[in-house]
Amino acid sequence: MATSAQPGLLGLAGSAGGEALATNGTASAEGPERPGPLQDETLGVVSVPSQWRGVQGIRGETKSCQTASIATAEASVQARKHVDAEVQTEVPEPVSLPSVPRYNGPRLAAFLRKVEAMVTRELNKNWQSHAFDGFEVNWAEQQQTVTCLHTLSYPPAQEQGLHVTGVSWNTTGSVVACAYGRLDDGDWSTLKSFVCTWNLDRRGLNPQQPSAVVEVPSAVMCLAFHPTQPSHMAGGLYSGEVLVWDAGRPEDPLLWRTGLTDDTHTDPVYQVVWLPEPRHSRRFQLLSVAADGKVLLWQGVGAGRLQLSAGFALAVQQLPRNTKLKKPSRGETEVGATAVAFSSFDPSLFVLGTEGGFPLKCSLAAEEAAVTRMPSSLPLRAPAQFTFAPHGGPVYSVSCSPFHRNLFLSAGTDGHVHLYSMLQAQPLTSLQLSHKYLFAVRWSPVRPLVFAAASGAGDVQLFDLQKSSQRPTVSVKQTEDESPVYCLEFNCQQTQLLAAGDAKGTVKVWQLSSEFTEQGARETERLDQLASEVAS
């Protein structure tokens, strides 16, 4: 039966065509004999010609256009005079102190004799003076309390129930970026997630609308801005990959990626850190730390790929035995690393936080080969040099003091923050901040005795060791329903700002009171005192 519909039968054509489709090529046209559900059948070709196109004819008209003629004119130009001049730079003379004093002589001696008595008198007076005791001058307007400046969120991510897993400030201090993911998922997920940036200096900032959004195929676990490029950021994914994006290119933000090779991590990447390259101090390489116990250094090579340039692996048998640790269950040889912090005084020294709860002192220059079964293109080394006394649970965050070369903090799931010195295994002090987990701890970049901690009870606690060593000085509630705060970062350029991200998918930028942003007199000495007073 022919299946072409006549152009005139607009009303019936549809149903006629439908009947034709129901029959198959081999059966007769009467009755819709359908074959059984699991048998093969072949259908003839069906074509449904257009019904309306035949009605409209084609109309054509001829049109032409012509540009108006272009007017041209000729003129000539000639330079009349010229002057020759030469320019030559001179080698600049370096400014240096004369090594041999040129003005030595009797006049200098006479001056010194004349002035010495007066200066010595003033120095002695100062030494004994109480004139300025308790005298403090405040130049800036005093902010009395900690206030929330901005509440930033990205509604599509919040609708998916994503948590903020990492925040980072860029090198100019004007852009804050946050990474979305989930921290309580136990299984492998193909959840799409986002990395959003907000430019806080821009006028008309809409807190629900980030300046740039990057879509990522897997949950992002950590984020770090490049130390000198204001728009480059690196993130570690749940799948073990490390990616670098350029937030300034919205159409194709992905710059570098590690891909999924033998070298990449097999577990979620918990932290990424930018390090200066050993030979070129202007270029940077990426260090990533993951739960599979590997600490890997990546360098960008052509075509957007990150290549492994050095690697370390932690193994239980190779941990230094200076602290008694729990015996690991049989078969476990890897020690998962959950956090990393580099010392500001020694660029090759770093502290790793582990799932076993004990921080490790490690060095990039370690030579010993690692005992590991994981395949890798480069030989992996064992970095650990010293083991510290463990927390009651995994360590989620470590932070090295920017003012003292030996002090660092670690925070774990037992709700305690431990202050360690690199020189001894037992912590100097242990503070219980919360009954729930602690997810992040950071030293303040301006005040040597202040640090901030993010707790699972939904508040950000600011601790001033000068005022009280037992209770937090300020505790601000970030979430109303006590959902945890997962990450926080101080802004190094605008030191009164602190960004914290929580499980509701919002990032709050807190403005700290003046007491947290101005260094008092003698704080560095107090810190030294603290470090040495409890040393065994």
Partner 1 sequence: MSNLITLKPRISANQGIPSIPIRTTLDNSTTVQYAGLLHQLTVKAKSTVRDIDPQNDLTFLRIRSKKHEIMVAPDKEYLLIVIQNPCE
Q: Which residues bind partner 1 (CB under 8 A)?
A: 95-98, 101-104, 107-108, 111-112, 114-115, 118-119, 122-123, 126-127, 129, 132-133, 519-522
Between CA 295 and CA 15 the distance in angstroms is: 68
Taking the complex as a whole, the smallest distance from the CB of residue 142 to partner 1 amounts, in Å, to 16
Backbone φ, ψ for residue 412 (5° rounding): -135, -175
- Toward partner 1, which CB reaches closer, 33 or 116? 116
Taking the complex as a whole, the smallest distance from the CB of residue 127 to partner 1 amounts, in Å, to 7
Between CA 204 and CA 212 the distance in angstroms is: 15
The single residue listed with the structure tokens 């549809």 is 14
Residue 529, classed as helix, strand or coil, is helix
Taking the complex as a whole, the smallest distance from the CB of residue 514 to partner 1 amounts, in Å, to 14
- Toward partner 1, which CB reaches closer, 40 or 136? 136
Strands laid side by side in the 474-477 sheet:
438-443, 450-455, 459-464, 474-477
The single residue listed with the structure tokens 């799409």 is 192
Taking the complex as a whole, the smallest distance from the CB of residue 492 to partner 1 amounts, in Å, to 20
Residue 72 CA to its chain's centroid (Å): 61
Taking the complex as a whole, the smallest distance from the CB of residue 529 to partner 1 amounts, in Å, to 14
- Toward partner 1, which CB reaches closer, 107 or 203? 107
Taking the complex as a whole, the smallest distance from the CB of residue 519 to partner 1 amounts, in Å, to 8
Q: Enumerate residues 6+ apart whose C-beta is below 8 A from 302.
A: none
Longest dimension (CA), the chain: 131
Residue 501, classed as helix, strand or coil, is strand
CA-CA-CA-CA torsion for 469, 472, 474, 479, nearest 10 degrees?
A: 160
Among 160, 166, 143, CA closest to 221: 166
- Toward partner 1, which CB reaches closer, 73 or 100? 100
Q: Write out 302-363 in H/E/C secondary structure.
A: CCCEEEEEEEEECEHHHCCCCCCCCCCCCCCCECCEEEEEECCCCCCEEEEEECCCCCEEEE
- Toward partner 1, which CB reaches closer, 386 or 403? 403
Taking the complex as a whole, the smallest distance from the CB of residue 489 to partner 1 amounts, in Å, to 27
Q: Enumerate residues 6+ apart whose C-beta is below 8 A from 318.
A: 368, 370, 371, 382, 384
- Toward partner 1, which CB reaches closer, 128 or 145? 128
- Toward partner 1, which CB reaches closer, 41 or 122? 122
- Toward partner 1, which CB reaches closer, 63 or 107? 107
Taking the complex as a whole, the smallest distance from the CB of residue 275 to partner 1 amounts, in Å, to 26
Taking the complex as a whole, the smallest distance from the CB of residue 496 to partner 1 amounts, in Å, to 18
Give me 439's structure tokens.
Answer: 């997810």
- Toward partner 1, which CB reaches closer, 60 or 105? 105
Among 224, 298, 212, 291, CA closest to 257: 298
